[in-house]
Structure 1
Amino acid sequence: MRHTLSVLVENKPGVLTRVSGLFARRSFNIKSLAVGETEQPGISRMTIIVEADSAPIAQVKRQLNKLINVLKIVELHPEESVERRLLMMKVHADESRRTGVLQVVDLFRAHVVDVQPESVVIESIGSLPKLEALLRAMEPYGVIELVQSGAVAIGRGDHSITDQLKEN
């Protein structure tokens, strides 16, 4: 089962290593990991996606809570959150292919961020299924290189998990 954890941590050296190490010691493969600062100075948010059964993930959440620099852990459920990823790909796009590539870019509401005589770099932000569909649509043109970020996710509604820190 897929679990998306939003983990608030103090923005200090070594925190990422300790958190990811906890998953490694439990033999969980992290499917996606993204870390960035929040609206609160000194606090970062880690979005971690893992495939695991519910019982082991509950144990990992308890162990995460014991780490010194971990402030809050929330599991985000798909129906109660919004998740996005960034994908950039370089695609063969010489004169004979460029029009077709640009039509696919427009269809997926992606953006061309670099143009060279034989290739273009395309940027797209979206859900994993959208990005996978874009990649499949570009395969006939020849994907030269691909890079993508981990997922970032946020809960829906007017509450914030950082608000919960202020209450504690």
Structure 2
Amino acid sequence: MNAPTTTSHYPTAPTAQKPESHTLSVLVDNEPGVLARVIGLFSGRGYNIESLTVSETEHQKHLSLITIVTTGTPMVIEQIKNQLERLVPIHRVVDMTLNGTSIERELAMVKVRGKGDNRVEALRLADAFRARVIDATTESFVFEITGKSDKIEQFIELMLPLGLVEVARTGIAAIKRGPDGL
């Protein structure tokens, strides 16, 4: 015997949305205080910035590109984009994650101290990851590595037991694929 189906007149409870990482490219006027306003929007509303890069992109037009990596539910990401678009010196906000046709890269410098087998292993791993030696002493190396953030994370994890001393990272830079600009 089949159980009777019941229908409810109440909407089902919303399912919990899972936080996602998004890369936002924000085209802004290159003038004092713009970055502070953007960061103020994030801190004032309790949003976290995981990575932030800023550079002038069009000198004649006095435009800069801010690339922000942040995490939140899809609803929070939409709020962030909408609030950014309302700031006066902002020309355009593009969610590179949703766009799907972007290239993201990061640069890191990784200092590793070691002698003997650890030194040889660090060089072997650096070669496998296509990291370049940009400084070397008899006791340490500084490697330069570029690529996706997860590749850099893997490299850093592998260098930990070999004598990792210090890491300096640039943050993510992103650009849209194809002939069109932002």
Same fold (TM over 0.5): yes
Residue of structure 2 equivalent to 1:87: 108
In 2: Cα distance, 1:111 partner to 1:36 partner: 24
- Aligned: 1:36 with 2:55: yes
TM-score normalized by the length of structure 2: 0.83
**Residue 93 (structure 1) shift:** 3.0
- Aligned: 1:115 with 2:136: yes
> Bigger radius of gyration, 1 or 2?
2
**Residue 31 (structure 1) shift:** 0.8
In 1: Cα distance, 2:108 partner to 2:80 partner: 29
In 1: Cα distance, 2:79 partner to 2:120 partner: 52
Deviating beyond 6 angstroms after TM superposition, the runs of 4 or more aligned structure 1 residues are: none
Amino acid at match of 2:148: S
Residue of structure 1 equivalent to 2:180: 159
- Say whether the 8 Å CA contact 2:24–2:97 is kept in structure 1: no
In terms of mean alpha carbon deviation, does 25-34 or 94-103 score higher? 94-103
Question: For each residue in 1:97-118, what CA deviation from the matched residue of structure 2 results, as whole angstroms up to 9, or x when unmatched?
Answer: 3322211111100001001121
**Residue 96 (structure 1) shift:** 4.7
Residue of structure 1 equivalent to 2:149: 128
2:91 to 56, 61, 71: 71
1:61 to 81, 103, 111: 81
TM-score normalized by the length of structure 1: 0.89
In terms of mean alpha carbon deviation, does 57-66 or 108-117 score higher? 57-66
In 2: Cα distance, 1:140 partner to 1:2 partner: 29
In 2: Cα distance, 1:60 partner to 1:145 partner: 33
2:38 to 4, 16, 19: 19
In terms of mean alpha carbon deviation, does 41-50 or 95-104 score higher? 95-104
For structure 2, list consecutive stretches of 5 or more residues without a partner in the other structure.
1-19
In 2: Cα distance, 1:32 partner to 1:22 partner: 15
- The SS at the match of 2:178 is coil
For structure 1, list consecutive stretches of 5 or more residues without a partner in the other structure.
162-168
Q: Relative contact order (C-alpha < 8 Å, sep 6+): which is higher?
A: 1
- The SS at the match of 1:153 is strand
